[in-house]
Amino acid sequence: KNQVEQSPQSLIILEGKNCTLQCNYTVSPFSNLRWYKQDTGRGPVSLTIMTFSENTKSNGRYTATLDADTKQSSLHITASQLSDSASYICVVTQGSSGSARQLTFGSGTQLTVLP
């Protein structure tokens, strides 16, 4: 069964600190992995996408890594800001194309950044 597990479930850090969120998946065959940011009460917004051949990708203060051998990804946030407080969702796409039934969602990590 395809699964995406995220850890920790929640995280509280102080403004300016760094943090790392984890995503482990069992989706096969693998196509790509996306990290989404979801602000409270809003729809998720894509942060990064990584394919099989990529092992790191940055988007400003967000850096995602992918280890396709161990089926693990991480999202590192540098110099956190209050606006980083949100839920971060890992989504893995199965195969090379197809329907959203081939998308497997993690349950998210709720990040709270305190002043």
Partner 1 sequence: EAQVTQNPRYLITVTGKKLTVTCSQNMNHEYMSWYRQDPGLGLRQIYYSMNVEVTDKGDVPEGYKVSRKEKRNFPLILESPSPNQTSLYFCATRGGGGNEQFFGPGTRLTVL
The binding site for partner 1 (CB under 8 A) comprises 31-32, 34, 41-46, 49, 51, 89, 91, 93, 97, 99-101, 103, 105-108
Tell me how far apart the terminal alpha carbons of the chain are, to the nearest angstrom: 41
Which one, 9 or 70, has the nearer CB to partner 1? Answer: 9
Coil, strand or helix: which one is 62?
A: strand
CA distance 36 to 90: 6
Three-state secondary-structure class, residue 83: helix
Distance of closest approach, residue 105 Cβ to partner 1, in angstroms: 5
Q: By C-beta, is 53 or 99 nearer to partner 1?
A: 99
Which of 24, 78 has the CB closer to partner 1? 24
Residue closer to partner 1 by CB (options 17, 42) is: 42
List C-alpha distances in Å: 62 to 46, 57, 76: 12, 8, 6
At closest approach, how far in Å is the CB of 60 from partner 1? 17
> Minimum Å distance from CB 66 to partner 1?
14
- Closest to 87 (Cα-Cα) out of 107, 114, 104, 103: 107
